Homo-oligomer: A and B are copies of this chain.
Amino acid sequence: MTKLVTAVIKPFKVDDVKAALENLGVHGLTISEVQGYGRQKGHTEVYRGAEYKVDFVPKIKIEVVVTDEAADDLVAAITTAAQTGKIGDGKVWVVPVDSVVRVRTGERGTDAL
């Protein structure tokens, strides 16, 4: 069985998170550009050295499908790697996955990872 781990983090932390995932032996991931806000509605967050005026602050979303067993360590590793201690560091959530397939081969389940 597998899980989908989704993290929304500060863009400049992508390389650190990627390195942490590689250390854990994660074999694949998907990223996309998103925008968002948390409890402070983005108002007080600093982005590229300037206080960000609008509600929505640019973030990167990382999605990783992993085995059930690996999910907790993955969440911990992302949390550590993405942390600056400042507001807006991000959010990580885990969703159950029914099935996963590698398109090239048709392999399924953990063989597809």
- Give residues in A with beta carbon < 8 Å to B: 2-4, 7-9, 18, 27-39, 55-56, 59, 61, 65, 71, 75, 78-79, 82-104, 106, 112
Contacts and interface: CB of A to CB of B under 8 A. Distances in A.
23 contacts: A2-B93, A3-B98, A4-B93, A7-B103, A18-B55, A27-B38, A27-B39, A28-B36, A31-B34, A32-B32, A32-B33, A32-B35, A32-B61, A65-B93, A78-B103, A79-B106, A89-B103, A89-B104, A91-B103, A92-B100, A92-B103, A93-B100, A94-B98
A96 B99 contact: no
Interface SS of chain A = strand
A94 B3 CA distance: 10
